[in-house]
Amino acid sequence: MTMKKSYLISVLAILAACTSPGRGDSSPDKTIFQEGGSWNEFIDNRADAVMVYGLRGNPSDRNKNIKGLEESINSWKERGYTTYFMTGIAWGSYADYFTGKWDGEWHLDEAQVTMQGDTLWHGRLVPYIVPSKNYLEYFKECQIKPVIDAGVDAIFLEEPEFWAHSGYSDSFKQEWMDYYRTPWRPQDESPEATYLSSKLKYYLYYRALDEAFSYAKEYGKSLGREIRCYVPTHSLLNYSQWRIVSPEASLASLPCVDGYIAQVWTGTSREPDYFNGVYKERVFETAYLEYGCMASMTRPTGRRVWFLTDPIEDRSRDWVDYKRNYQATFTAQLLYPEIADYEIMPWPSRIYRGYYNKSGDSAEKIRIPKDYSSMMQVMINSAHEVPVSRSRVNGSHGISVLMGNSLMFQRFPIHEGYEDPQLSNFYGLAMPLVKRGVPVEISHIENLGYPKALKDVKVLLMTYSNMKPLDPEAHTHIADWVARGGHLIYCGTDADPFQTVSEWWNSGDNHYATPSAHLFEKMGLDAGAGDGTYSYGKGSVRVIRRDPKEFVMNEGGDSVLLDAVREAYGPLEEKNNFILDRGAYKLVAVLDEGVSDEPLKLEGRFIDLYDPALSVCTGLEVASGTQRFLYDVSKAPKAPCILAAASRAYDIRKGRRSFSYVCKSPSETVNVTRVLLPARPEKVIVNGSPAEFEWDGESRTCIFRHDNDPDGVKIEIEW
């Protein structure tokens, strides 16, 4: 089978997916982070594993003294960290390739280039790359092989990104001729040229990761070692919004890919979108859907995924803004109870040592406030403890939105007869449900060949206004699902100019005017079926001849969609909140703009984990548009035990009337700890000295504070 053919078939006729080893609460890498240099006391965040970045460190960080890879790895190992390797596949510190030191020829002409002839740069001598076969030989020889020789057994190649507005370099033109066997066509020429250009970009990074990871596994095997390979990547939703093309879900077809990191954070989730005619940031809701994209990529395949959050973001904002949106994204990621592995931060040196505005109305630049760093470390340590759970977010389950990788193919440039502002044709299907407290899921069209893909889906929402199916087999799976009793809601006018690109539905023996005509034929419908509900097998098809963007770009525009969902699903539980219990942890998000702006009232006794004081609260109210992360004291383990802390505990010892441990966290941060005890303590000793503490008799918890130390602070409690 040729690479091109395997790319087109994608996940629909592939080997069974590999289940990653080490998953679960006892995993040595349940929590991970990435950093460009060696260990130091100010960034010792106590995650399980560190991905040491690049042979020369983070290419965006030119002012740091980055030591050699082996020295950096050893510095982290000495502090108890599992160590891996991470670098970019589409960009990186590869000047030896571009300046000719590797093979004697300059290769800056392999950069991604815009229509204006401008090179797209990630940094000085760090262009975004058209991944030629020559570049891949360099990458394997000079990036993959050395790190395996250095003892690394897990490799993370991040952000396989091809910008949609590039595609005009000589190297890309050559790749076009090699792939399509036709002369290159500028992507601004027509919708078809746009589609074909993006499809090629998509394939090139599919090929790049296949070759790099296959080499890594084969070379490791020759040394008697197993090398694991992962792709840290933005969500399909974000790449589509940012007009970037990447392989995304199709990587699940590669036996050499063991899983992903879901690169979702404030910077991606604050991308504005439309709802009820209003265009604005909706960080929590967007993050919830972004994490849903990534969960959908791995749920049917069993492959591993870590969810990322970032306590700051790439763009310079202020600490108040960072904290508010960190809470929104952190809550969103925890609402997927089947995922319990996390990248707790990227670049701790940037977070702990960077200077940002104190607040939105202050120009004073400061390092991370002590209360924020304490809260952030409580989150990190909670991530160590949060379990995989079979519990579910409250609400009506079994409603899913179909999406596919070709969402990225129609984004740039804009052609006459087609416009999809901020990906509104996707949000038009998803946001009306999210805003009404429906835990809508996402299904990837590339994964429909897996038996689990639509197993628990009762209602599937789809459109071809913003994407097209890459092969006909997806329609067989959808039709079979409907015949078994599924309810399909198809929305779209099918009038966009991308309907007529040269693809499988209108070539060879196929002569369909639109891809939906092929789908409808599979279910006995007329090719141009109009508005209405049709039966097929035990299920039904509802056709709404409106593009989904109308549901969110217009005030009150979603009524027709919601009526269709209610008809297909039955009574919906419509509310203004998402609630999930994961062991003793409770996640709460109260939504605005939807059913009600009333606060949510909670009964019980909780520790507020987003409060740096770790306050104990009862009769809690959660305001509209906010989120809470709580510890339910009634579900705590038997005392004594640590319920929440801004440090990680080691060497825990329990006596008949005593409790002791050593805790570690970065220098220049403050630890706050709340401990459950059988009785009021007589004393709390911190590094040999009595410490002040507060006792809450109702929760039977003790709270105390002290400065953190990465070398360890000895805590002794007696009662």
Q: Maximum Cα–Cα distance for the chain, whole Å?
A: 84
pLDDT tens digits along 273-321: 999 999 999 999 999 999 999 999 999 988 999 999 999 999 999 999 9
Mean pLDDT of 226-246: 98
pLDDT of residue 124: 84
CA distance 76 to 78: 5
Q: Say whether 147 sits in a helix, a strand or coil.
A: helix
E strand segments, 242-355: 244-245, 259-262, 273-275, 278-280, 304-308, 342-346
C-beta of residue 440 within 8 angstroms of C-beta of residue 463 = no
pLDDT of residue 62: 37
Short-list 687, 684, 685, CA closest to 709? 687
Work out the burial of residue 389: count CB atoms within 10 Å of its CB; fewer than 13 is exposed, 13-18 middle, 19 or more buried.
middle
User: Which helix H or strand E contains 74, and what residues bound it?
Assistant: helix 69-77
- Indicate the Cα dihedral angle 70, 71, 77, 79, nearest 10°: -170
Mean pLDDT for the chain overall: 94
Mean pLDDT of 407-428: 95
With vertex at residue 552, the alpha carbon angle to CA 548 and CA 555, rounded to the nearest 5 degrees, is 130
Calculate the CA 347 to chain-centre distance: 17
**Does residue 2 register a pLDDT over 90?**
no
For 103, the token pair is 């093979």
| Tally of helices (H runs) and strands (E runs) in the chain | 18, 36
Alpha helices in 506-558 (DSSP H): 515-522, 549-553
C-beta of residue 663 within 8 angstroms of C-beta of residue 645 = yes
Query: Listing from the earlier edge strand, what are the strands of the sheet with 701-707?
Result: 641-645, 670-676, 701-707, 694-696
pLDDT tens digits along 334-377: 999 999 999 999 999 999 999 999 999 999 999 999 999 999 99
C-beta of residue 708 within 8 angstroms of C-beta of residue 664 = yes
CA distance 664 to 659: 17
For 291, the token pair is 């994490």
**Does residue 10 register a pLDDT over 50?**
no
**Does residue 18 register a pLDDT over 70?**
no
Bridge partners of residue 82, in order along the sequence: 49
**According to CATH, where is 2.60.40.1180 located in the chain?**
641-718
pLDDT of residue 27: 80
Work out the burial of residue 484: count CB atoms within 10 Å of its CB; fewer than 13 is exposed, 13-18 middle, 19 or more buried.
exposed
Q: At what angle do helices 370-385 and 319-334 cross, to 10 degrees?
A: 10
E strand segments, 414-496: 441-444, 459-462, 487-491
**Does residue 16 register a pLDDT over 80?**
no
For 374, the token pair is 């304490």
pLDDT tens digits along 463-498: 999 999 999 999 999 999 999 999 999 999 999 999
Query: What is the DSSP code (8-state) at residue 20?
Result: P
pTM of the model: 0.94
For 27, the token pair is 């995993």
Rg (alpha carbons) of the chain, rounded to whole number: 26
Q: Which CATH class is domain 399-569?
A: alpha beta
pLDDT tens digits along 510-559: 999 999 999 999 999 999 999 999 999 999 999 999 999 999 999 999 99
Alpha helices in 79-189 (DSSP H): 95-98, 133-139, 145-149, 170-180
**According to CATH, where is 3.40.50 located in the chain?**
399-569
- Domain 641-718: which CATH number of 1.10.3720.10, 2.60.40.1180, 3.40.50.720, 1.10.580.10: 2.60.40.1180
For 62, the token pair is 């030119």
